[in-house]
Amino acid sequence: MAMNKGWDAVIVLGCAPKKNNFPSYSLTQRVKKAKEIYNKGLTKKVIFSGGPNKTEVPESLIMQETSGIPRKDTIIEKEALKTTENAFYTGLIVKKENFKSCLVVTSPFHIARSVYIFKKIFPRGVRLEFVKSDEKICPLRWLYLLLREARFFMRDYFDVPRLAKTLRN
Q: Chain-wide mean pLDDT for the chain?
A: 91
Q: Over the range 121-157, which residues count as b (16 or more CB within 10 Å of their CB) and which as e?
A: bbbeebebebbbbebebeeeeeeebeeebeebeeebe
Q: What is the pTM of this model?
A: 0.90
What is the model's pLDDT at position 169? 62
**Residue 80 pLDDT > 70, yes or no?**
yes
9: Cα within 13 Å, side-chain hemisphere: 22
What torsion, rounded to 10 degrees, do the Cα atoms 124, 69, 52, 118 define? 20
**Residue 140 pLDDT > 80, yes or no?**
yes
DSSP symbol at 20: G
List the domains of the chain with CATH numbers. Answer: 9-168 (3.40.50.620)
What is the model's pLDDT at position 74? 98
**Residue 125 pLDDT > 90, yes or no?**
yes
What is the model's pLDDT at position 5? 77
What is the model's pLDDT at position 4? 56
For 18-27, the CB contacts below 8 A with 24+ separation are 19/55, 20/55, 21/55, 21/56, 21/57, 21/62, 23/62, 23/63, 23/66, 25/135, 26/107, 26/133, 26/135, 27/59, 27/62, 27/63
Write out the H or E segment, with its range, that includes residue 83: helix 83-97
